[in-house]
Chain A
Amino acid sequence: MNIEENGFTEDFQLETPLAPKQTRLQEFWLLFRQNRLAILGLFIFIIFFCCAVAGLFMTSGPDPLFDPAMIRLQEKLRPPLAKPNLDSLRHEEIPYLGFYLMGTDDLGRDVFARMLQGAWVSLTVGFVAVGISVLIGIFMGGIAGYFGQHHVRVHHILMMLVLISGAVLVTANFIRSGAVLLCLIPAYLFYSLRIQNRSGEKTSSLWAKFLYINAVSIDTLIMRLVDIMLCFPSFFLILTVVALLPASIYNIMIVIGLTSWMGTTRFVRAEFLSLREQDFVAAVKTLGAGNFRIIFRHMMPNAIAPVLVSATIGIATAILTEAGLSFLGFGVPPPHATWGNILSDGKNFIFDAPWLTFIPGIAILIVVLSFNLFGEGLRDVLNPKLRERH
């Protein structure tokens, strides 16, 4: 949000004395304030964020305030607010608050400590996964939208094939032959630079012409890639990859990220396609701005709105996806606690210790809901078509 706003306020102040008195941020806030649900969402989101950060500090380090890994088997399944049985505990095992705020789980671990730690981990999973997907989405969508008409030539494709097969060979343990293929890449770069230097000369050989045939436009290429990715049912794809890869929190974040960038790509591409035709871009172009300046300084801030909305909702979805994976046993592995795996561990004890299910379940519900409502509010405010009142 910041990039966008700063970029624009400056531009307007510099060039247009007739600019509205309100900055866009203020205008935005005015509109947003009217959506009480969204405000509620934002409020909860901020609380959650604070909890997560506080949780990170209180549950990590060599001697944490709340130790989420501390096992007290004799204190298992104590209900919320229960006082610990002081006789059976060593000094360091006594909970910091003097009682179990949210009870203990089946191994006697303090659920409150685990929830605190889980808040941070869940938040990280959501943010990193969405961060990855948004970055890829913006990158792909930007290229497709801006450089879309450029064509990939046959020699590009050939080189990519060489690169990919080289990489595959290396990963499949045929290191030597793979390395040879990979070595071809610098040679190719050198060659193409040389060709470019003497681009004035006409290359007349048939072979060279073949290499320079326009095979497919970049836009088509990227959109076909999006199509291919969309052909996989997303949860199923995530499940396949997560089940097949060694479980780790990073793999889960990366996989969720890598399988959800397609929507963003489409948004950004569509926005770029329409922005490219607009006058202000043409104006900047005639001023001689470079491609990157145009993209990042002028077009991106205008295209970011739908991305922000989908990112907010994406975080909510990622948290839910992680919970779903936990249910199937493929969530974030211990020792990291996430709300998803606290919930799915707790469900076995739903009759003996309902708080183990309801505390994380309701916590996820509230946080995800707040993200969704916030995202919805953003959408309403940022979409000028819906903004008009009649």
Chain B
Amino acid sequence: MISFIGRSVIQKIITLFFVSIVSFLIIHIAPGKPSQVDPMNPKFTPEVVERFQKEFHLDKPLHVQYLYFYRDLFTGETVSWKDNQSVLKKIWERFLNSLPLFIVGTIITWTLSFPIGIRSAIFRGQFYDRSATFLSYLLISIPGFFFAYVLIIFVVNQFHVPVIGMETFGIGDGASLPHIFMDRIWHLLLPSLLGATGGIAVLSRYVRSQMLEVEGQDYIRTARAKGLPPEQVHYKHALRNALLPFVTMFGLILPGLIGGSVIIESIFSWPGMGRMAYEAILARDYPVILTVNFVSAVLVLAGTFISDLLYLIVDPRIRL
């Protein structure tokens, strides 16, 4: 067990190292320079541009820039080129904004997918299964922004309530606490629902196929042959075993913490991580892009690590 942990930690660190190099190269070799070094503004003289280059270490060779950047990152001193704010602070702020979206989205995904998936498996091939299949694929087949616009226009025209932003603008002045809380929930509803559609479709299909696979096993057949009521066979014997792989998925949702969809966040004016990263890409704000990338890589690796561990714990057949 310990040797497994040690080995996999070392492995992940090596992977991280390569990720850091690759992302650094992608950003720096690609054409285009930071917008501060953008001479399309007549006010920018070559001297100013040069001074910016120097300030950002852009005049140094790549490997030196690499070292500078990761030194700053690990000492927590990276600052955004756009506004000289600490990148970690910015990311933390955005993370807190994206977090509720992520949590509600995940809860919606998981609570809806399981009942749908299980029932689909039980009624395999019947009307329920088919319509569930159809609906879940329908949901992931709509271009996200099209769906979002249609929803927003519908809700705003029908109910005359605001849907964009993290809260109704200006509600902070004078409203009671439950009002503010519920208002936030309302504003979470549409974007998290849109974010969850893909997850619901994929996860419910996965639950269905897991259930089907388990139901094909001999011990289920045995249980059935014993004359147990089908309900019990489904929900007790089959479900429990079908659930196993999903425990490990808890680790895999970790990277979603920092993901955040640019499109949904832009449409819903949500000041989240995705938008910050997107704007950083447009402005070539290298420190922000690279830090977001690094943090998300850490989360992905941590996620797989946790899911491996969970697998180890829940599945008694695996002993390392």
Contact = CB atoms under 8 A, between A and B. Distances in A.
In-complex A–B contact (CB below 8 Å): yes
Interface of A: 36-37, 171-172, 224, 227-228, 230-233, 235-236, 239-241, 243-246, 316, 320, 323-324, 327-328, 340, 343-344, 347, 350, 357, 361, 364-366, 368-369, 372-373, 376, 383, 385-386, 388, 390
Contacts of A324: 143-145, 263
Contacts of B30: 241, 244-245
Contact of A350 (B149, B221, B297): B149
A368 B142 CA distance: 8
Contacts of A365: 138, 141-143, 146
A227 B15 contact: yes
A365 B153 CA distance: 19
A239 B263 CA distance: 11
B278 A239 contact: yes
A386 B134 contact: no
Nearest to A346: B146
Contact of A347 (B16, B31, B130, B145): B145
A171 B15 CA distance: 25
B207 to A, nearest CB: 13
A386 B206 CA distance: 12
Given A37-B133, A244-B31, A316 B141 contact: yes
A390 B216 contact: yes
Measured as residues with beta carbon below 8 angstroms from the partner, the interface class of chain B is 35 or more
Contacts of A246: 31
Interface stretch (B21-29, B99-107, B182-190, B243-251): B21-29
Nearest to A172: B29
| Top 9 A-B residue pairs of the complex, sorted by shortest distance between their CB atoms | A244-B30, A231-B297, A368-B141, A369-B141, A361-B146, A323-B143, A372-B137, A231-B19, A327-B145
Contact of B143 (A171, A240, A364, A388): A364
Interface in B242-292: 255, 258-259, 261-263, 266, 274, 277-278, 281-282, 289, 292
Contacts of B145: 323-324, 327, 344, 347
B146 A373 contact: no
B137 A369 contact: yes
Nearest to B297: A231
Contacts of B144: 320, 324
16 contacts: A224-B11, A227-B15, A228-B19, A231-B300, A236-B274, A236-B292, A236-B293, A236-B296, A240-B26, A316-B141, A323-B143, A327-B145, A340-B143, A344-B145, A385-B213, A386-B209
B212 interface: yes
A368 B140 CA distance: 9
Given A171-B29, A231-B297, A327-B263, A373 B134 contact: yes
B39 interface: no
Contact of B149 (A224, A241, A357, A372): A357
B296 A231 contact: yes
Given A323-B143, A340-B143, A244 B26 contact: yes
Contacts of A376: 133, 137, 205
B76 interface: no
Interface string B139-175: 0111111100110010000000000000000000000
A259 B65 CA distance: 26
A156 B26 CA distance: 24
Given A37-B133, A239-B262, A328-B263, A233 B215 contact: no
B138 A244 contact: no
A390 B215 contact: yes
Contacts of B292: 236
A98 to B, nearest CB: 30
B196 interface: no
Given A231-B301, A386-B213, A224 B14 contact: yes
